[in-house]
A and B are shown apart, each in its own frame.
Chain A
Amino acid sequence: MRPPQLDDTDWAILRELQEDARLSFAELGRRVGLSSPAVQERVRRMEDTGVIKRYRADIDPTKVGFPIIAHSRLRQVNGRDRAAVTELIRSIPEIIHCIDITGEDGFVLTIIATSHAHLDDILVRFIPYGQTITGILMKTYVDHRTIEKETCDYDETAE
């Protein structure tokens, strides 16, 4: 897939919004050297083309009553159970993130819990479908790195 044409100003806007999605168009314009309507137009275009998926406040679960953040790999899920497992995952609000990966660990879950007992109550629901291997998330060393133009520079010769 070829990236849509983003120029340096688009990238400057993307950088600012990845770091603070609440910046006003006026402030954003000031930082990238554009008028507020011109910035707004570019942001709208990047939203329309799906470059920007959404804007969200990232909240700290440990500050709102969930001291435990678990990282759980769900292994050896039978192919015919995948749809049911996906459904189950989506129905549990404590699972705040889930990715589906290649290999024998089918799903990787991020689970927030009020206690170890609470975490256990969530994990037992997966017993019918496979094995869970769970660890507790300790320190985060990189959290949502801002993507810059240089990271995505297409190497045409490598194609």
Chain B
Amino acid sequence: MRLDDTDWAILRELQEDARLSYAEIGRRVGLSSPAVQERVRRMEDATVIKAYRADINYEAVGLPIMSLTRLMNVQGTDNINKVKSIAQSIPQVIRCYHVMGQDEYVFQIVATSVGDLEDILHKFTDYGHLVSAIVINTPVDHSTIDLDTLPSLKDKHL
């Protein structure tokens, strides 16, 4: 989908505050509320916008431990499928993806305690080599993707 500068302005606002009303977005980008709504709908339909999320503070709700765990050397399709379904079935696995090049599965896991984390990790140990680390902090937390700050993209589009 081809995005113009106004689409990008709308995307910027929604990435910074997804609860802004169409009227307020319109005011900021210089459009009427229905015109904004129409553009947003178009970007939702094209899945440029995947979702609107409330990010919660895991620590504040009782999940102070966060781990980034890699699972390597998973052998065979059966085991790969098992790893996927285990990851999907454990509510503490908040993110899981496959990385090519390192050929590994990466899990982001939240837990109430180190003991809780260990119990979760044990569910994967039969399937490959696990390397687990604790997340200390997040220097960049889902930063806004913005045409103005990404000259590489602007050059490509012009």
- In the bound assembly, the distance between CA atoms of A147 and B46 in angstroms comes to 27
CB-CB under 8 A from B68, the residues of chain A are: 99, 101, 108
Q: List 17 A-B contacts (CB under 8 A).
A: A1-B59, A1-B60, A14-B54, A20-B51, A50-B60, A52-B55, A59-B15, A90-B139, A93-B146, A93-B150, A94-B150, A114-B152, A135-B102, A137-B98, A142-B97, A144-B94, A152-B61
* A103:B143 contact, CB within 8 angstroms: no
CA distance A115 to B53 in the complex (A): 28
Count of A interface residues, CB-CB < 8 Å: 73
Would you call A100 and B97 a contact (CB within 8 A)? no
Q: Are B150 and A152 in contact (CB under 8 A)?
A: no
Residue in A4, A6, A105, A150 whose beta carbon sits within 8 Å of that of B91 in the complex = A150
Cα distance A40–B51 in the bound complex, in angstroms: 21
A49 touching B98 in the complex, CB below 8 Å, given contacts A65-B153, A71-B106: no
Q: When the two chains form the complex, which single residue of B15, B98, B134 contacts A56, counting CB atoms closer than 8 Å?
A: B15
5 additional contacts (CB under 8 A) given A55-B52, A66-B145, A137-B97: A14-B61, A51-B61, A101-B68, A143-B95, A147-B94
Which residues of chain B come closer than 8 Å to A49, judged between CB atoms?
60
Dominant SS among interface residues on chain A: mixed
Choose one: A114, A139, A141; the contact of B156 (CB below 8 Å).
Answer: A114
Q: Which of the residues A22, A94, A148 comes within 8 Å of B52, measured between beta carbons?
A: A22
A151 → B minimal CB distance (Å):
5
Q: Is the CB of B139 within 8 A of A6?
A: no
Given contacts A65-B157, A98-B138, is CB(A57)–CB(B97) below 8 Å? no
* A54 CA to B146 CA, complexed, in Å: 18
Residues of chain B lying within 8 A (CB to CB) of residue A64: 1, 3, 11, 48, 145, 153
A6–B84 Cα distance when bound, in Å, is: 32
| Contact yes or no, A1 B138, CB < 8 A | no
B19 an interface residue at 8 Å Cβ cutoff? Answer: yes
Segment 134-159 of A: residues with Cβ below 8 Å from B: 134-145, 147-148, 150-155, 158
Query: Which B residues touch A18, using CB under 8 A?
Result: 53-54, 56
